[in-house]
Amino acid sequence: MAITSGHGNPKWTRDEVILALDLYFECKGLPPTRRDARVVELSEVLRAFPHHAKSARKATFRNADGVAFKLQNLRQVATGKGLGNVSRTDKDVWAEFGSDPAGTRQQAQLIRAGVKVAHEVREQEADYEVFAEGRVVTEAHLRRERNPKLRSKLMAARNALGPLACEVCGRQGGGSNAELAQAIFEAHHIVPLSAGEARVTRLAEMALLCACCHRQMHKLIAMRRQWLTVADLRRVLGGAG
Ligand SMILES: [Zn+2]
Ligand SMILES: [Zn+2]
């Protein structure tokens, strides 16, 4: 019997279960053993998760046994047999992605991309609220927004249209110094990070927000645990949401 729990290891998060479900789909519902190369690979990815840094020091944390066991849990959820052992998160993820292997794969790719950049971003954004359950994707998204080239492209495009203004509150930079006035604006991606990190971000996917509204935007996303549009935030701040 595999030893996978009872050692104080934290519960599997949504992100982690999505990665496991992706592998479950890849295996066509026949979970492989702990010796399978894909199980070992996933174990390594999970042990690198930024929010589990401390736990990962334990040998039992998300080891191959644990991953193989989780795949069995997912099989239980998928087949409806032996539901006593599965977690709430397993059920929730299955409810959301159980009939959508392609969507699961896309989400899994986002999470894997996020794990790679998350450490660096966490250092830069220690005070930036991200929601725990979608954490790595959110962090990858924030990092992308901070690309200075994208921001200046967006500024140039908007400058050509007239005075810069926040797309949520309408605030303009003010003052006579253009460079100073522009400093209040940040680029916000209106779509969450998409699969395929190499994809070119189009200007149409970006909104120009003042720093305050941008912060509130991500706070609201964190509070609601779902992606929101600029119009959504405008409604909420206007008191109608
Ligand atoms: Zn604003
Ligand atoms: Zn943003």
Does some domain include residue 188? yes
Does some domain include residue 210? yes
Q: Specify the pLDDT at position 25.
A: 96
- CA 200 – ligand 2 centroid, Å: 17
Are 51 and 100 members of one domain?
yes
Are 19 and 82 members of one domain?
yes
Are 103 and 164 members of one domain?
no
- The count of domains in the chain is 2
Which residues place a Cβ less than 5 A from the ion ligand 1?
166, 168-169, 171, 210, 213
Does some domain include residue 128? no
Are 159 and 233 members of one domain?
yes
Are 106 and 30 members of one domain?
yes
Are 85 and 174 members of one domain?
no
0.75 exceeded by pTM: no
Are 24 and 106 members of one domain?
yes
Structural domain including 37 reads 14-117
Are 101 and 169 members of one domain?
no
Are 158 and 95 members of one domain?
no
CA angle 8/10/15 to nearest 5° reads 160
Q: Which residues contact 135 (CB under 8 A, 6 or more apart)?
A: 13, 15, 50, 51, 114, 118
Q: Name the DSSP letter for residue 10.
A: P
Burial class (CB in 10 A: 0-12, 13-18, 19+), 179: exposed
Q: Specify the pLDDT at position 116.
A: 66
- CA 133 – ligand 2 centroid, Å: 17
Q: Name the DSSP letter for residue 59.
A: T
Q: Specify the pLDDT at position 229.
A: 85
Does some domain include residue 51? yes
- CA 142 – ligand 2 centroid, Å: 6
Does some domain include residue 4? no
Residue-by-residue pLDDT tens, the chain, 241 positions: 444 444 578 889 899 999 999 999 999 888 899 999 999 999 988 887 766 666 666 888 899 999 999 999 999 999 988 756 688 999 999 999 999 999 999 989 888 877 766 655 554 444 444 444 455 666 667 777 877 888 888 888 888 888 899 999 999 987 788 888 889 999 988 876 644 444 556 777 789 999 999 999 888 887 887 778 888 899 998 854 4
Are 106 and 157 members of one domain?
no
Does some domain include residue 5? no
